[in-house]
A and B are shown apart, each in its own frame.
Chain A
Amino acid sequence: MNKLLLLFLLLTTSLATAQQITVAAAADMSAALPQVAEAYTKKTGQAVKLSFGASGNLTNQIRNGAPFDVFFSADEEYPQQLIVEGLASKDTLYRYAVGRLVLWVPNDSPLDLSKLGMNALLDPSVKKISIANPATAPYGRAAASALRHFGIYDQVSSRLVVGENISQAAQFVESGNAQAGILALSHALAPAMKNEGRCWEVPLDAYPTLNQAAVVLSKSKQQDAARKFLQFLRTPEATTLLTHYGFTPPAEKNSMGEIMK
């Protein structure tokens, strides 16, 4: 009986220590942020737990009391809303990167993206085009604006399939179920997809700039630890990692183009 009780206690006691911080992050960060967190843990000993989803979904979870310490959004709107609602600290708002949108096709696709650009989507071989859900994902909204910018939204809208977040949109096309996807550059450059397909960067004037911002959440019980992690995002070590995944550091927003070859 005592042994059973002990087992029950072991199973019900959370293994998490108070030292850990929990970060909610936009799905486009799913390849880059683990590396940043790992570098941070190595340096400081601070454990960082990561949770990814569409920025809108995460915002909604935060509104409903999700126990996150820091929120990395794929835009600036959602953190601003949380600040207005008193759920995030205004003084911690930090634009950590500018996100970039690409058109991506798998290796076996016959489409010449560099020649066709966005018009590649009009090719009859493209039966399904995956994008993130514009209702909850900033990358989905950016994709829809880009399609409108090129004047082909109405022609392709019946072929759009909507991922719950930008990672699922990437998975739809990476698995060959969709023939093209409008994805985050950070996914196209991630090891899992880098050699699986080709991409074409959507010009920055085709969609509203994805100013990706992070904030410390007001309900976090670890304000100091959370702020320190956000501080780390400003160091060259972190910005180099983000740049590697195609994010433009905030300072050099206007001089991009070297990363994409």
Chain B
Amino acid sequence: MNWEAFWLTVRLAAIVSMLLVAIGIPIAYWLTYSRWRWKFLVEAAVALPIVLPPTVLGFYLLVALGSRSPLGRWWQALTGHTLAFTFEGLVIGSLLYSLPFAVQPFAASFGAVDRKLLHASASLGQSPVQTFRRIVLPLSKAGLITGFALSFAHTLGEFGVVLMVGGNIPGVTRTLSIDIYDQVQTANYSSANQTALLMLIISFLVLSIVYGLNQRPWTVNPWQ
């Protein structure tokens, strides 16, 4: 069991999911309440990482943010290194890759808040921001936890992007999924088995929390 890779992966997933709460709430707020007619295009863009192969994102991170592109040169001037092969690079890649897993549950739960409550709050003189903070956010708790947990789990399981831009550096970019890949490729099956089992358990636990939180048992069964 590679504990260095384990803690690295947990650290990556925790940082990414916390940042996604901060970035995802404003995006989900806008997606929920905006009446702009082209909003669906933004929704499609946010959902892209669900269907896009990780290799596409990996390719763009390597080439578009490499030292040959203006953006990559700007980053290099700022930090002294390229984004590839660094922990920051993995954080940025994972933010993009897990964005819909945070934003979509957030937006769904904001949209599910009863409009009458919003009208009541407005008629009592609360500003939209205050209404959002005091009415919408507390009522969306389950959606916020779901988004946080799903983006955490999705980042834990990320493989393609890390394989393409990580460079497999122990303690920096060698995540658990890469470690499993290396163990399998070198026919080190017992070690791969341990790590794979751990991933399976963690992923199952996280998803159990998500579904446990969102379960809505039928109080009345309509077919009986």
Number of chain A residues close to chain B: CB under 8 A: 22
Q: Which of B167, B186, B187 contacts A161 (CB 8 A)?
A: B167
Of A133, A136, A172, A176, the most chain B CB neighbours within 10 A belong to: A176
Per the 8 Å Cβ criterion, residues 23-53 of B in contact with A are none
Total contacting residues, chain B, CB less than 8 A: 21
**Binary per-residue interface labels of chain B (163-183) against chain A in the complex, 1 for a CB within 8 Å, 0 otherwise:** 101011100000000000010
Question: At the interface, yes or no: A99 with Cβ under 8 Å from chain B?
Answer: no
Which of A56-64, A113-121, A207-215, A230-238 lines the interface with chain B? A56-64
| Inter-subunit contact B169/A161 (CB<8 Å) | yes
Determine chain B's interface SS by DSSP, over half rule: loop
Closest residue of chain A to B171, judged by CB? A158
Residue of B nearest to A59 (CB): B187
Q: Is B82 an interface residue (CB 8 A)?
A: yes
Kindly state whether residue A175 has any CB partner on chain B within 8 Å: yes
How far, in angstroms, from A171 to B63 measured CA to CA in the complex? 10
Task: Tell yes or no: B185 within 8 A of A by CB.
Answer: yes
With an 8 A cutoff between CB atoms, is A164 at the interface? yes
Distance of A177 Cα from B163 Cα, bound (Å):
14
Q: How far is the CB of B2 from chain A (nearest CB, A)?
A: 13
Closest residue of chain B to A179, judged by CB? B67
Q: Which residues from B are CB-within-8-Å of A130?
A: 167
Say whether, besides A56-B185, A57-B185, A161-B168, A175 and B81 are in contact (CB < 8 Å): no
The interface bits of chain B over 133-170 (1 if a CB of A lies within 8 angstroms of the residue's CB, else 0) are 00000000000000000000000000000010101110
Question: A residues within 8 Å of B by Cβ?
Answer: 54, 56-57, 60, 63, 127-128, 130, 133, 135-136, 160-164, 171-172, 175-178
